[in-house]
Amino acid sequence: MTTPCGISIPQVFAKSPIDLALIRNFVPRAEALGYDSLWVQEQIVGDVSILEPVTLLTYAAALTSRARLGSAVLLTVIRNPVQLAKSLATLDQLSQGRLIVGVGVGGPYVPEPVFGVSSERRGRRFVEGILVMKALWTQPRATVSGEFWRFESVPMEPKPAQKPHPPLWFGARDEVALKRAVRLGDGWMGAGVSSSADFVAQIAMLRRCLDEAKRDPATFAISKRVYIAVDDNRERAERRLREWFGLRYKNAEAGSLVSIWGSRAECIDKLGELVRAGAKHLLLNPVFDELEHLELLAQAVVPHL
């Protein structure tokens, strides 16, 4: 049985105008090829063109009927959780229950003051925002008595199509964040900007957290975003990855540190290491020649995982 694999929707247009035709062709073809899910990421402000994730997933929902639709991850600390709960419930209804809500705190690069929120007590605000969304999704009339949000008997309809709510997958790297994921979430996704070695170390921590919380690992999703380039010319693949990372993250070196690239056999072997470490799902993220990678990965790589 092959490991379920999702794929990232073309969303970042670092060197070209927004290519709507690419997205329109890519999304239904990904579903037809058997990818189990389609994914987006979030960066609201910046000098690189990146489409807003919830809007893009809503567009993808209209182009598909079976594939799950996921965010990896929404930076909920910069969003109003009441409005976000409404948007995500609507998306879950429009997709007929196919949404996976990936959430994360984000790093120090998140410019919270731009969004009118404080950077202080970020972890607490993050947790409370998640609890606000859960309350609005599950209670007929939601009541929240928190530090940042307080309200009584607030109705919100429609609820999400999935019950009790769409699965919540947390982005997390350190032990505190992993414990939070186990306490509040339904799964964990290793970051694309973390290496395979980082993933192995983090999954060991996650297993300890699941054991301490007495949660069944079989019911907890474990995934990893993987920036990938399949090319027999390894130098060319690495050069193109570094170029993209330089534009997207302002850090070309990260392309070499966290990505997987090389021949089909080499990519299969390196992805297999993640599966053997405990990944139950992989999010494959090509960053150039997206349509070509879409076909190649589905036909020559995924069947061997």
CB 73 within 8 A of CB 189: yes
Q: What is the mean pLDDT of residues 99-112?
A: 91
Give 106's pLDDT tier (boundaries 50, 70, 90): confident
- How many CB atoms neighbour CB 179 within 10 A? 18
Mean pLDDT over the full length of the chain: 96
Q: What is the mean pLDDT of residues 215-243?
A: 97
Q: What is the mean pLDDT of residues 163-183?
A: 97
Specify the pLDDT at position 261. Answer: 98
pLDDT tens by residue, 40-83: 999 999 999 999 999 999 999 999 999 999 999 999 999 999 99
3-state secondary structure 125-173: HHHHHHHHHHHHHHCCCEEEECCCCEEEEECCCCCCCCCCCCCEEEECC
C-alpha 78/C-alpha 305 separation (Å) is 37
Specify the pLDDT at position 109. Answer: 79
Above 80 in pLDDT, residue 1? Answer: no
C-alpha 282/C-alpha 271 separation (Å) is 8
Specify the pLDDT at position 297. Answer: 98
3-class secondary-structure state, position 301: helix
Specify the pLDDT at position 135. Answer: 98
Specify the pLDDT at position 185. Answer: 98
What's the CATH class of domain 5-304?
A: alpha beta
0.95 exceeded by the pTM? yes
Specify the pLDDT at position 108. Answer: 76
Which position has the token pair 């990372």?
A: 245
Give 199's pLDDT tier (boundaries 50, 70, 90): very high
